[in-house]
Structure formats: structure tokens, C-alpha cells
Amino acid sequence: MQKLDELYAGKAKSVFTTDDENLLILEFRDDTSAFDGEKIVQLDRKGMVNNKFNAFIMQKLEAAGIPTHFEKLLSDNEALVKKLDMIAVECVVRNISTGSMVKRLGVEDGLTLNPPTFEFFLKNDALHDPMINDYHIRSFGWASEDEVATMKRLTFQVNDILKKLFDDAGLLLVDYKLEFGRYQGELVLGDEFTPDGCRLWDKETREKMDKDRFRQDLGDVVESYEAVARRLGVDL
Ligand code: 5GP
């Protein structure tokens, strides 16, 4: 597999073409960003930890029947993935109220949500990823009615799989963001699943072990990601 040109540089990952037109290489960098890229810092080992964390989770999801773009780990910081036609919306499931939901709705922080709730956001940093609904997605043609239904179904299926996985490791899966894309007529989970895009709290102490440590300047960001990885049994 030959790594060719850089196709795109995101806030924490870079995407490269390969000599196979159906495959891309994701490079997880040490960059850590928050607030739509306003705060960016380099954190040692973060790219490696997230790459291996993501590989572990994607393989668990694939084994449980979720189609994902993940093919294989290539190195400490690189993974081989299918080239998807990405849908520019974010799918968020919340098991516990916190973050933007608390600011937006004025609800109490830390409430268990039964049932878990689902939100769509438009991927647009300049607009600060505004919340959108099913009709925006369909009316503007960002995805079809079937694709909207499939994104919701798969995102909730991921919740069932990962809530249990994290619970067994003594962690609460508070909320998370997924992104999907099209691959040969099928909707497939893309992007990444790492502590950068989910919230994980210790089950006993409710200590934050995710990117909120960076957003809120709590320190020990990568150390917390590594602690989560160790609890799950990720080979770092
Ligand atoms: P909130 O809407 O509370 O800011 O985020 C809800 C969940 O989705 C959190 O786990 C958060 O990390 C994730 N999330 C929302 N938007 C983004 C985003 O643009 N990038 C990343 N990496 N995660 C996001």
C-alpha cells in the first residue's frame, strides 16, 4: 500500500490518498483542538493513543455488525480506511445530560436520559456546527430519508454495544458523536471513535476522562485517554 498525496488536513487528522482509489490513509496527529479550532495544542502521544483506541473500537463495532470504514492499523499513527462519500452531519446520542445540551435547554447537568436522546448537527465550523433536524437534511438533499433512518438506527445500535463495553471497564458512556458516509451503495460508519468525540466518566467518581479535560483545562488529557484505553484492554 503506497501513501500518496495529502487529500485533506482536519483539526486532528490528515487524510492521504493511496494507490488504491477505494482506500485512504488516516494519520492521527498530536494536535488537539476545541471550540471549532480556536484552541489548538500539541499533546505528546495523543495521535498514537487515538489511532489505537479508534482501531480497537471500530473492530468491536464491526464484529457486532456495524459496517465501518476501518480496514487495518498501518503504524502507530496511521490506519487504512475505505474512501467514503461523507455526509456532512454529526449524529449525537446522549445517555446523560451535559455539554451543549445543558447550555441550550437549561436542563440540569448529569441527569440520566431515558430514553437516550438523539441530535443531528451540521458540520460547519464557521457556523459553530448548528443543530439541525431530519427535515433540514432531507430538504437540502444532504441525505435521503432512508439514510437519515439508517444513521439513527446505527447510532443507537452503537450505543447498545459501547455502553456495555465501557460499563464493563467501569466507565459511563455519557454521549458521543458519529459521522457516516456512503461506500458502494451502503451507509458506513466513518471518521473516528476516540475520547476526542465522546464523553466518558468514571462510573464511581464521575471523573471526566475525555476531551472535556482539554476543553476545561483539567490537565492529564492524554494520561486519561491512556487510562481509558488500559481499562478497555487496548494494546498501546
Ligand atoms: P456537545 O454537543 O455537548 O458539545 O457534544 C456532544 C458530544 O459530541 C460530545 O461527546 C462531543 O465530544 C461530541 N462532539 C460534538 N461535536 C463535535 C465535533 O465537532 N468534534 C468532535 N471531535 N466531537 C464532537
Atom of ligand 1 minimally distant from the CA of 125: 19
Q: Quick one: pLDDT at residue 37?
A: 87
Residues with CB under 6 A from ligand 1: 90, 92, 99-101, 129, 175-177, 196-199, 211
What average pLDDT score do residues 85-109 get? 98
Q: Cα(176) to centroid of ligand 1, in Å?
A: 6
Residue pLDDT, tens place only, 19-51: 999 999 999 999 999 998 899 999 999 999 999
Give the whole-angstrom CA distance, residue 133 versus residue 111.
23
Q: Which of 177, 196, 201 to mutate to test the pocket of ligand 1 (most atoms within 8 A of CB)?
A: 177
Residue pLDDT, tens place only, 148-167: 999 999 999 999 999 999 99
Which residue minimizes the CA distance to atom 4 of ligand 1? Answer: 100
Q: Cα(47) to centroid of ligand 1, in Å?
A: 18
Confidence of residue 229 (pLDDT cuts 50, 70, 90): very high
pLDDT greater than 90 at residue 1: no
Q: Quick one: pLDDT at residue 93?
A: 99
- In DSSP notation, the chain reads --EEEEEEE-SSEEEEEESSTTEEEEEE-SEEEETTTTEEEE-TTHHHHHHHHHHHHHHHHHHTT--BSEEEE-SSSEEEEE--EE-SEEEEEEEE--THHHHHH-PPTTPEEEEEEEEEEE--GGGT--EE-HHHHHHTTSS-HHHHHHHHHHHHHHHHHHHHHHHHTTEEEEEEEE-EEEETTEEEE-S--STTSEEEEETTT--B-STHHHHTT-S-HHHHHHHHHHHHT---
Q: What is the CA radius of gyration of the chain?
A: 17
